[in-house]
Amino acid sequence: STVLDLTRRASDWLRPRYEKILQETKSASILYVDETSMKVDGEKGWIWTFVADGAILFAMRMSRGKKVLEEVLGDDFNGKIVADGWRSYPAYTSNLQRCWAHLLREADDLKDKSEEGKRVANELHRIYDELIKFIEKDPPPRERGKKKEWAIATVKDLIEQDYGNEKVGKLMKKIKNGFDYWFTFLTDPELEPTNNRAERALREHVVQRKIIGTLRNEKGMRIHETITTVLATWEQNGLDPHEEMLKAFRNYS
């Protein structure tokens, strides 16, 4: 058998596990979601990741739109999503936490551009650091609610100032547009304020993209999403992917 034939057979055998992981993803209370581009037959496709406790799902699609979220998670998903500022997420759900790591990186990019940029970046870091110190104490709900009010007022004060620098103004507009979603984590102790989990899950795909360049067709997309999903989920659950794959081959006839 060729390598391609072996991977296709492995994918066929693992597909029921993929479907099981998909069901676990749909019923998760919190999902960390991200997407990155990957060429399919020369066209731009997208690999989406959905990270839950105990499950990592990858879905290859030719779209970056909210229809992917509807297709993967369904219309009645009632968990919370942690994601970056891409418009598909608020179009799909209002149960959102925007990623502070993305925001702070963008703010840091402005530090060297102007004094205004430096001041804004420092202030955002100060606010974020204070919020992290606060939640590390595991405060009761009432205190969390009060801190959220403080955070809303403090950031609102920052974004409503007049800015001369165009790029700083643009960042303030971005914060304003996603304003409802920056502070969800303060009143939900289970929620992380960054999307680092999903970014970590996608790292390997970024490396693979450099190596393989492009997937051939829809069959290749299906093989890729199936095998990578099952391997990543095994690893997340402390299983040895190599051992589990060997078991899979032994059982597959």
Instruction: Between 181 and 216, name the one with better pLDDT.
Output: 181
CB atoms within 10 A of CB 15: 17
Burial of 135 (0-12, 13-18, 19+ CB in 10 A): middle
The band of 241, judged by pLDDT with boundaries at 50, 70 and 90, is confident
Q: Which of 122, 97, 87 is nearest to 107 (CA)?
A: 122
CB 14 within 8 A of CB 227: yes
Summarize the confidence of residues 40-45 as an average pLDDT.
84
Q: What is the pLDDT of residues 78-94, one digit of tens each?
A: 999 999 999 999 999 99
The band of 6, judged by pLDDT with boundaries at 50, 70 and 90, is confident
The proportion of the chain whose per-residue pLDDT surpasses 90, expressed as a percent, equals: 72
Q: What confidence score (pLDDT) does residue 203 get?
A: 85
pLDDT at 243 over 70: yes
Q: What is the pLDDT of residues 198-239, one digit of tens each?
A: 999 988 766 666 556 566 666 778 888 998 899 999 999 898
